[in-house]
Every structure is written in C-alpha cells, then in structure tokens.
Amino acid sequence: MPQIEYKGKVFDVDEDGFIDSFDKWCPEWVEYVKESEGIQELTEEHWKVIHVLQDYYRKHGIAPMVRILTKVTGYKLKYIYELFPSGPGKGACKMAGLPKPTGCV
C-alpha cells in the first residue's frame, strides 16, 4: 500500500490517494489534502461539507449520494465544486477521510 508522509505523519493510502482508514483522519490529513487540491483556505462552508460527509459515513458506513449531500448542506452541486474543485467524491470525501466512493457521489 502506498504511503504519504506529511508534517511528520505517515498515511497509508489506496491507489487513488484516499486514506486507508477513517479512524486515522486528523488535522494533518486535512492540511495535506487541502494543499494537494489547491485549496487556499478552508471556510465554514468547507467544514460543513466535511462534517456532513463524516456524520453520514459514521451512521451508514458509506458516503452519501450527491443529492443527499446537497439537501443536507443546502448547497447546490455547482457550489460544492467551487469549494472542492475535484468534486464531492474525490476532493471532499478524501479530505473528510472517507474511503473512495463507489457510487454516485
């Protein structure tokens, strides 16, 4: 399994760069993904999406579908792409520490 070292932490990741375990999510992981995604600063809106994804994952064991994410956050999909340029599945889920989504996220 590939590894990423960032600010003294080592993360095991899958072939797409998603962290191998939700339990290993930490501030350093968020910082790493933020930089790799080219996001300058995390806003309250970023954190709202991250927390919704994490809460849903804790309850259901999977990432929510896009329509659920947009409904719960109140953000249009276009706005989520503005927050996370690589999208809700790649950028937002990766930053939230979720495994790579398998369906329509």
Catalytic residues: 104
Q: CB within 8 A of 59, min separation 6: which ones?
A: none
Q: Compute the distance between CA of residue 81 and CA of residue 40 in angstroms, rounded to an integer.
A: 14
Q: Compute the distance between CA of residue 95 and CA of residue 49 in angstroms, rounded to an integer.
A: 10
SS3 content of the chain, % helix, strand, coil (to 5): 55, 10, 35
- Specify the DSSP class assigned to residue 90: I
